[in-house]
Each structure stands twice: as C-alpha cells, then as structure tokens.
Amino acid sequence: PAVGMSAGTAAAEPAVPSGGQHGFDKVIPAPVEAEPDPKEKFWLSPFTFIRTQPGSAEAKQVGKYLAEQLRPATGYPLPVVSTRHSFLPNISLSLGKADERVGEQGYQLDVTRKGVRIRANTGDGLFAGVQTLRQLLPAQIEANEPQRRIWTVPGGSILDYPRFGYRGAMLDLARHFHDVDEVKAYIDEIAAYKVNYLHLHLTDDQGWRIQIDSWPELTTVGGGPGTGVDGEGGGYLTKAEYAELNRYAAARHVTIVPEIDMPGHTNAALSTYAELNCDGVAPPPRTDIEVGYSSLCIDKEITYEFVEDVIREVAAMTPGPYLHIGGDEAHATTDEEYRTFMDRVLPMVGKYGKRISGWDEIAQVDPPTSAVPQFWDTDGEDADVAEAAARGNKILLSPATKAYLDMKYDENTELGLSWAGFTEVDDAYDWDPGTHIKDVPESAVLGVEAPLWSETLRTLDDIEFMAFPRLPAIAENGWSPRATHDWESFRERLAAHGPRWELRGVNFYRSPLVPWK
C-alpha cells in the first residue's frame, strides 16, 4: 500500500539535527492514497502566508486554526489572507475544487516547491487536511516556543477520506468531574486524529454534571462538593461553560453528543430529589463504583416530567444532532418496565429535534430506525443489535474489549479497570468495525467510538495516559480503509508520534509493543 512507502525526505536538511520524524509514512490515521514525490518539497519560511478561498468564512476559520498551530514553534507570522492568486509560495485552502471521491469529510493535499495546496468540499475536509499537514511537518512543530531549524514538508500528493462518517471519543464527567479546560485539551488531542464527535457522559450514580434550570439542585447538590467516586470528583458545567465547549469543539470540527443516562445510573438525581423515588425517600449519595442498582421510578408521572424537562433543556443547548439517553445496565428495572419507560422517553428526543443515541440495550425496545444503538458488548454478538441493524438502524461500535480506553493495558497498569480484560495497543488496533458484530454488515455501521470511563481517572494526565496510544488506534479503525490496516506499519507510525506528545505535554503509555524513539 502507498502509505507504507518511504517518505522521500532525503533532501531535507535541518539546520539543527532534529531526529524529528516527517513523511507520508507517519500519518495517523493512514490516508487512502499517498504518493510521495521525492523531487519535491515545500519550505515553510518567515514569508509563507496562508491563503484561504475568497468569500469562505469556513476556509478562513480553518486557515486561522492552522496559523495558530504553526506559529509557536516556527515563530513565523503566517498571515491568513483571502486572495485568489499568488506568485509567492504559500499554503492554500480551497473549497469545492476537490475530487468527488473525497466526499463530505475528505481532502486532497498536494505539496510542491510552489506551495502546499489543500482542497476539500467542506470545512470539515479542509480541517482534516490540516491535521495531515501538521503530521507531515517535523515533530518539533508541536513545540511551544520557536525552534531554530528549517521546516520542510515532503513533496507528493494525498487523497484521503474516511471509511466511516462518525469517529468518536467519550469522556465520563460523572465519576470524576473534568472541567472546561481539561475537556478542551482533550478536544484538541482527539481532533488531531480526525475524531469528529465527543460524547460527554454527563450524569451517573455518582454525580450530575450539567446545569438544568428547572431542577437546579441536580448540580448544586447532585454535582456539588463531595460527589464523584471517593467523594473526590465534584463539579459541573454551567450552561455558559457547556456553550463555550460547544463553540470550542465546533472550531475543531468536533460535534458534542451529550448523554443523560436513564433510567438506571441515576442515583445522583434520586438522592437529590426525593420525589423522584417510588417511595418518596431520597437514597444517600453514592461514591462507590457499583453499577446497576438505581432506577428512576417507572410508574410515577413526575419521572416523565423530570425527563422531559431535562431533554428539553439539553436539546436546546446542544447544536449537534444527537442526544444520548444512556439506557445501559438498567438491572433495577424489569424488561417490561424498561420498555414502558423507553416507550415514553424515546419520542421526547425527536420532539425536541434531536436524534436518539443510546447504549445497545435500547435495541431491545425497537427504537425508531433513526436511533443509534452503541454496541459495547465483550463478544461480537448481540441479536437485538443485529435485528435493529436489519430494520435500518445504524450501529455505533464501542466493543469493550477493543475500544474501552478505561481498561488497563496490562496487569501493571495502575489506573483503569479490567472487567473486559487487559487491552494493549495491538488489541485496540486489531479488529475490524465492518465485520466485528455478527450479522451487522459494514453498511449498517455508523462508525466507532472510544469511551473513557473515569472511575479511576482524576486528572488530565490520567485521561491522556489511558487514551494514548490507544485512541489513535480506534481513530484509524474508523477512518482508514481496510487495505491500509497493518499493525507493523501502525506501531512504527505511533513511535513517531511519541515526540509530538512529549512536546505538547500529552501524557502517554509507553507500550513495550511500540518502538518509541
């Protein structure tokens, strides 16, 4: 495959020997087609400017993002200008001139002496192309202060587009709260690997992390000090902070998917509002990590008033199309109660203009075909999910044995859990979303998502340690064509990303399976 070719960087001589990696063979996720041209390369210079399609605010916004990425390490001004032509070498971002094959999210990138040209049909595509360009530059481009060296981009052409339209990461803010700055940092990290959805698990037994005006104590009590696992994860997002996160994510072409988990995983709400309990008595708050014991009261009308208030408010503050209603591990309700609950709640999501997503248990209640069951099983079989797929539902893949970033890497990993087994980076890489679930064909797969549950994770360092290097493995399974799938190539490419994480201050697990430099 083209991506396995050598990079053709032989002629690039850094002013200071760098040991930095650059080349077409370092890109994660692997591109569809990559054709190095050893006779060409582009020099980034103090005179380089970024030229964006005249009249396109989207291209301009991506251009500004690119400039912000490249300025700290280069120290170059990199002005962003909208002009039609230029005789000076530059980086150009243009819309509407790309090959049809790149679709809604792909791009073409051409590098010659005269410039770097990124073409796409959408802003999403340009943004994806910019992530590839960052990876083609030497690792030092990730440094925070000016580096004295020459910056070259190896010559050649890339044509690239995703296998699946949805590539997600999930962060659990309920077990331990993670604040706006931590979530922003995670958005930056996932966007670099062309992950385009961030699912926020906002509520659970141990805490409620999103402001709801009609039920104000959910956050002040249910999300307040002393909540979270071990009582050490208190905090919540105000509506203003949630809006800020949505803006930040949108500028990185990431869509936020909020999750309000129900009817189980609701002890934080139940312990805050006594009237939500069948017996009218609020249970004590919980700070342990048991699951499956709590449930909203299926037979009380106030339950549905509560749920509708929450869905209405969350839908109103969410620009993206999906609203995730959880639905997992409802072991405190019977199958019949679960169906009764979902029959009333599922239509509310559509009523407020959103598309339903939920853990794979929702497949049991024949949700509308627009609903997205998120598969999290440990074996590759689930008859309800297969039936939903046959009816026309798209399935999101998060198999716990492959995609759960909270599983320990091995028996020595201090953080994380191990109920689905240990998951080394090769386990996270070696599966095929198109064939993983029995009787769910590739055409029924929406994409992949890597959940990160935070029972054991307190800091951003903890989050990063579990996500890297496995998140890039999941991202590649979601983006790259099967023809490029190759563990030997992937581990070599991962090794080249280690220095980038170091320079950006991203913590990561130095897996013994990867030949880190």
How many residues bind ligand TNX, per CB under 6 A? 10
Among 329, 377, 430, 439, binds ligand TNX (CB under 6 A): 329
Backbone angles phi, psi at 2, to 5 degrees: -55, -35
39-77 CB burial, b ≥16 within 10 A, e <16:
ebbbebeeebbbbbbeebebbbbbbebbbebbeebbebe
> Can you tell me whether residue 49 is helix, strand or coil?
strand
Question: Which candidate in 182, 217, 244, 329 is catalytic?
Answer: 329
Q: How far is the CB of 360 from ligand TNX (least distance, A)?
A: 8
Least Å distance, CB 374 to ligand TNX, is 8
Of 125 and 264, CB closest to ligand TNX: 264
Phi, psi of 101 (to 5 degrees): -60, -25
Query: Least CB distance from residue 432 to ligand TNX, whole Å?
Result: 21
- Exactly one of 242, 322, 431, 453 binds ligand TNX (CB under 6 A); that residue is 453
Determine if 291 is a binding residue for ligand TNX (CB under 6 A): yes
Q: Does 177 contact ligand TNX by CB under 6 A?
A: no
Q: Does 486 bind ligand TNX (CB under 6 A)?
A: no
Minimum distance from CB of 516 to ligand TNX (Å)?
A: 27
Q: Check residue 124 for interaction with ligand TNX (CB under 6 A).
A: no
Q: How many CB atoms lie within 10 A of CB 241?
A: 15
In contact, 503 and 140? CB cutoff 8 Å:
yes
What are the beta bridge partners of residue 417? 407
Instruction: Report strand pairing: 49-52 vs 90-95.
Output: parallel
Q: Which is nearer to ligand TNX, 150 or 417 (CB)?
A: 417
CA–chain centroid gap for 292, Å, is 26
The enclosing H or E element of 450 equals strand 445-452
Contact yes or no for 162/193 (Cβ under 8 A): no
C-beta of residue 153 within 8 angstroms of C-beta of residue 44: yes
For ligand TNX, which is the closer residue by CB, 127 or 453? Answer: 453
Query: How many C-alpha atoms does 432 have within 13 Å on its Cβ side?
Result: 12
Q: How many residues does the chain have?
A: 517
Residues 391 to 430 in contact with ligand TNX, rule: CB under 6 A:
404, 406, 417
N- to C-terminal Cα distance for the chain? 24
Q: Which is nearer to ligand TNX, 110 or 449 (CB)?
A: 449
Measured distance CA(423)–CA(80) in Å, rounded: 43
Beta bridge partners, 211, equal: none
Nearer to ligand TNX, 42 or 376 (CB): 376
Between 151 and 376, whose beta carbon lies closer to ligand TNX?
376
- Shortest Cβ 218–ligand TNX spacing (Å): 19
CB of 471 to ligand TNX, least distance (A): 16
Of positions 58, 110, 313, 328, contacts ligand TNX by CB under 6 A: 328
How many other CB atoms are found less than 10 A from the CB of residue 103?
17
Answer yes or no: 329 catalytic.
Answer: yes
Task: Determine, following the binding rule CB under 6 A, whether residue 376 of this chain makes contact with ligand TNX.
Answer: yes
User: Using CB under 6 A as the criterion, which residues of the chain lie in contact with ligand TNX when the complex forms?
Assistant: 291, 328-329, 359, 376, 404, 406, 417, 453, 455
- Active centre residues (catalytic): 329
